[in-house]
Amino acid sequence: MTTSTPTPAADAMFEVRRLNKSFDQQQWVLDDIDLKLLRGKTTVILGPSGSGKSTLLRCLNLLEEVDSGAIWFDGREITKEGPRGHLLRREISMVFQHYELFPHLSVLENLMIAPVKVLGVAREQALEQAMELLTKVRIREKADAYPEQLSGGQQQRVAIARALMMNPKAILFDEPTSALDPEMVKEVLDVMVELAGSGITCVVVTHELGFARRAADRVVLMEGGRIVEESAKEHFFSGQASERTQRFLQQMS
């Protein structure tokens, strides 16, 4: 008799089951993670430095190999996809702490290069979409500028627009405002709040509790490679959350 793997919940864009990951075979960086990330919702992942947040994000789009466990994305088990896994990164975009724009390309070319070269989108169509997205992130007037001519906050907004050019099903943010001067954090978070409300699935690792309060649907707290709390934002910040969560929130404020 064969036993079939249970299919993922229909409301989950990502479903992580019993995920384990180590780099040195001595200590689990991700220790038996079970997690459901809901379709069209924004999940904020909080936790101290070294708790495994970046590693978890990188596992979600197969930038890291997992030791055991399974990850489902949009109804399929991606941890089984092997070499075809790289196609996944057309469906999942990632925004990093350092914007990683191509320095020798203009803002517009930074946005257009992947859709045109990878997806084969016509230049005209890519141009139209790029201008729309640059308007959305409020930087249309810099379309012909080069990255070095932009502030950090402007570059990060361009990076967000570039991530959206692939029409991803999900977008992963890894501390997108941590490298920014304080006065630029707000302009990036404002764009992210709008994005969070737009119906795309967002997963955001951040230390910005204000963003979590404004934009999150669900909040996850990680510590030592484990999930210590996963709850609706209202519960997470209600004072009814676990004692560990309350302590974390006190340390952060």
Q: Minimum Å distance from CB 28 to Mg ion? A: 16
SS3 6: coil
Site string for ligand ADP, 18-37 (x = CB under 6 A): -----x-----x--------
- Decide: is 252 part of the binding site for ligand ADP (CB under 6 A): no
- Its sign, for the CA torsion 88, 93, 94, 100, is positive
50 binds ligand ADP (CB under 6 A): yes
Size of the site for Mg ion (CB under 5 A): 1
Task: Tell which positions 28-67 bind Mg ion, by CB under 5 A.
Answer: 54
Q: Which stretch binds ligand ADP (CB under 6 A): 43-51, 107-115, 123-131, 160-168?
A: 43-51
What SS3 class is residue 202? Answer: strand
Judged by CB under 6 A, does residue 139 bind ligand ADP? no
51 binds, among Mg ion, ligand ADP, none (CB under 5 to 8 A by kind): ligand ADP
Q: Which residues is 19 bridged to in the sheet?
A: 33
Residue 100 φ/ψ region, left for φ over 0, alpha for ψ in the -120 to 50 degree band, beta for the rest = left
Q: Nearest Cα to 46, choosing from 184, 244, 198, 180? A: 244
Q: Which CB sits closer to ligand ADP, 30 or 195?
A: 30
Q: Take residue 62 and report the two structure tokens written for it.
A: 């197969």
Q: Which of 43, 55, 61, 201 binds ligand ADP (CB under 6 A)?
A: 55
Q: 111, 165 in Cβ contact below 8 A?
A: yes
Residue with tokens 């075809």: 84
Beta strands in 51-153 (DSSP E): 68-73, 76-77, 92-95
Cβ proximity of 128 and 121 under 8 Å: no
Answer with the entry of Mg ion, ligand ADP, none that 157 interacts with (C-beta below 5 to 8 A by kind). Answer: none
For residue 110, state whether it binds Mg ion (rule: CB under 5 A): no
Q: Is the dihedral of CA 78, 79, 84, 85 positive or negative?
A: positive
Interface with ligand ADP, residue 8, by CB under 6 A: no
Q: Which stretch binds ligand ADP (CB under 6 A): 53-61, 88-96, 141-149, 193-201?
A: 53-61
Catalog residues that contact Mg ion under the rule CB under 5 A: 54
Catalog residues that contact ligand ADP under the rule CB under 6 A: 23, 29, 47, 49-55
